[in-house]
Amino acid sequence: MDVKITKFHEECIDCKSCMKGCPMLYSFTVSPKILLHHFTTQKPIASMAFSCATCGLCAQVCPKDIDFGEVFTQSKNEYATQKNVLKKYGYGAVVFHQKSSFSKLFSTTKKFTQGEYTHMAFMPGCALASYSPKLVYTIFDYLRSKLSGIGIIQQCCGTPTRMMGDIEQFQKYHTQLETDLAAMGATTVVTACENCYMSIKNNAPHINIVSLYSVLNEIGVPKEMVGRYTNLPKVALHDPCPTRFESKIHKDVRALMHTIGLPFEEFKANREKTLCCGSGGMLELTNPVLAYEQMHTRANQTQCESIVSYCQSCTESMSKGGKNGLHLLDFIFAPTMPSQQVEQGSFKKWYNRYQSRRMITMLKDTSLKN
Ligand code: SF4
Ligand code: SF4
């Protein structure tokens, strides 16, 4: 890293492009070059490293390919070996979340034996199951009607642990996920979550990871949803930052918006230049003040009252930022879609996940619609 830092410092032209849109750099420095100079002799202080949302924007916009995210990620990984440091940044809550997420109470798999797509598994992701077990059920029911034999896995991808820098524990969780997928015979995973997508893509290259939005664009949305929303007021579309470089997902999401007829406008910073919603990198836990500032900043970069995203965490962030955050999947699968998501407390979210898991365990192989 030292060699890289020296190179970063030498090459930085202090144009400050990386500061525009970054949730945290501005609160620690007025000059990225001075900051990099500092890093040549000292590693970032923990409060700085744990304020990085790992959104990837700085590296995307830097004319010299300097990646502050990489610097802070490495620092977080080093700090994570000191449990007393991790504790200061709320790791206790992450440990609880992750242990629960991987427990039998909240995770399960269901494999089906007949059908053309028994090699596929739908992975809704923690946030979607916490939001609405009914939505998870409806999506899966639809997928089964089109992709006979597809299974389902309710499991976390371990991203919260990785974001906190505890790579050793992340590897254990990731191995658990891979083991469960292997037991299902799943070689293709269809996910609704952008963090699951990137985690599996980067850590399990032998698994074919596909976005649910690409699958829906290919198999089509429920026919009663085609052109359904042409009379609604315009919404803004927010791209989640984990998949900022996944241009196919960007394209497929926009195609779906056109198919359902939902009028929308782009944020000025969209696709690969999208901004963090404020919840990236566990920022709500590690630096809540910056997290809420970023939520408010992003939500107010559009005149639209409603902001649609295809990540449940982003959707919630847009509501916390003062706008009406809505999930694209609610438009596609809920004919009586609420005009806004109801805020749910932690207990209700865990209850929802339990209900989602229960629904999955009750599915019968014989109910295949093929
Ligand atoms: S964008 Fe790159 S070159 Fe410009 S100030 Fe930031 S790190 Fe330096
Ligand atoms: S990765 Fe995102 S939050 Fe971290 S320094 Fe870069 S722009 Fe800022």
Q: Write the pLDDT tens digit of every residue in 277-328.
A: 999 999 999 999 999 999 999 999 999 999 999 999 999 999 999 999 999 9
Report pLDDT for 364. 86
Q: What is the mean pLDDT of residues 78-86?
A: 93
Domain count, the chain: 3
Q: Domain check: are 176 and 319 in the same one?
A: no
Kindly identify the ligand whose nearest atom is closest to the C-alpha of 36: 1
What lies within 8 Å, CB to CB, of 322 at 6+ separation is 296, 299, 300
Confidence of residue 340 (pLDDT cuts 50, 70, 90): confident
Q: Domain check: are 110 and 192 in the same one?
A: yes
Domain that holds residue 249: 223-333
Q: Domain check: are 212 and 156 in the same one?
A: yes
- pLDDT reading at 359 higher than 70: yes
Residue 101, ligand 1, Cβ within 6 A: no
What is the CATH number for 295? Answer: 3.40.50
Tokens found for residue 304? 């639209």
Confidence of residue 367 (pLDDT cuts 50, 70, 90): very low
Report pLDDT for 25. 98
Report pLDDT for 343. 87
Tokens found for residue 27? 């609160």
Q: Compute the distance from residue 52 Cα to the ligand 2 centre, in Å.
A: 5
43, part of any domain: yes
Short-list 252, 254, 258, CA closest to 218: 252
Residue 52, ligand 2, Cβ within 6 A: yes
Q: 363's torsion region: left (phi>0), alpha (psi -120 to 50) or beta? A: beta
Q: Compute the distance from residue 276 Cα to the ligand 2 centre, in Å.
A: 9
Q: Domain check: are 140 and 209 in the same one?
A: yes
> Residue 122's beta-bridge partner residues?
152, 190
What lies within 8 Å, CB to CB, of 152 at 6+ separation is 109, 110, 121, 122, 123, 124, 140, 360, 363
> In the listed set 79, 108, 125, which residue is the last one of a domain according to the structure?
79
Q: Compute the distance from residue 313 Cα to the ligand 1 centre, in Å.
A: 29
Question: What is the pTM (predicted TM-score) of this model?
Answer: 0.95
Confidence of residue 369 (pLDDT cuts 50, 70, 90): very low
Short-list 196, 286, 205, 210, CA closest to 240: 196
**Residue of the CA atom closest to atom 3 of ligand 1:** 12
Q: What is the dihedral of CA 315, 197, 243, 241, to 10 degrees?
A: 40
Residue 18, ligand 1, Cβ within 6 A: yes
85, part of any domain: no
> Residue 237's beta-bridge partner residues?
266, 308
Q: Write the pLDDT tens digit of every residue in 181-205.
A: 999 999 999 999 999 999 999 999 9
How many angstroms separate the CA atoms of 8 and 41, rounded? 13
- pLDDT reading at 337 higher than 70: no
> In the listed set 48, 79, 110, which residue is the last one of a domain according to the structure?
79
Q: Domain check: are 328 and 361 in the same one?
A: no
Residue 69, ligand 2, Cβ within 6 A: yes
pLDDT: which is higher, 365 or 6: 6
Q: Are strands 306-309 and 324-327 parallel, antiparallel or unpaired?
A: parallel
Confidence of residue 113 (pLDDT cuts 50, 70, 90): very high
89, part of any domain: no
Tokens found for residue 265? 């406008």
Q: Write the pLDDT tens digit of every residue in 202-261.
A: 999 999 999 999 999 999 999 999 999 999 999 999 999 999 999 999 999 999 999 999
